[in-house]
Structure 1
Amino acid sequence: MSTAPSPWRAAWEQALSDLEMDVAVAEAMLASHHGTHDSAPDGVHDGAPDGSRKQPWSPPQGIGLIPADLDVRARALLERQTRVCRELAAAARLSRRHDKAIAALDLGGPRAPVYVDTPA
């Protein structure tokens, strides 16, 4: 006989699973940005999980403190979130530098050709 998790534990497991999927999506975007082309996690296609949220994640209300045995999972998730946040910030800085470099190359519109090939 198996016992189902309590509603309190199930709510925390779902909250952690939702956050883990969000981090997996961000990790997949970073991997594709860096050209590593790691396969996306199950359920992640085109940078969004199946049935992705339209609204930002918000903590569930009224579920109380996290169960003690989920603490290790939550701490590992926090470490992943922190690492991904740093990597996203670095990617944004690099993108801004690239944008500035491209803008500096803009020569103010099309220029007349210097040489014209004509048939002999």
Structure 2
Amino acid sequence: MVTAHDANKSCRRERKRKMMVSYRKEKKLEECELKMAYRRLEMEIHALRASTHSALSWKDIALALEEEVKPSHVEYQSLKEKVKATSRLLRCMEQWVICNSTIAVRSPWEM
């Protein structure tokens, strides 16, 4: 004969069993989600590492830019020297013109 106490106990056991089944399902789902997140992150790490190997380092870029700048610096120095030489020539020519030009001065009685 099944008493009320036995029925109540059986009901509690059934409820606890269902809760444990639900708990295990949740844990399995959580484990699956964590594994998927782990795989996704591993793939992301792999992709990031692969992209850094194919990218140029900052040292390589700096060397390339330095090589590109060298001709410009040489040209700049050359142009700077030409400007100095032209300025010296201009000053010399101005002095020559000043020294070799005469100012015609008329006296007031010659008019």
TM-score (norm 1): 0.35
Q: Relative CO higher for 1 or 2, CA cutoff 8 Å, sep ≥ 6?
A: 1
Bigger proportion of residues as helix: 2
Higher Rg:
2
TM-score (norm 2): 0.37
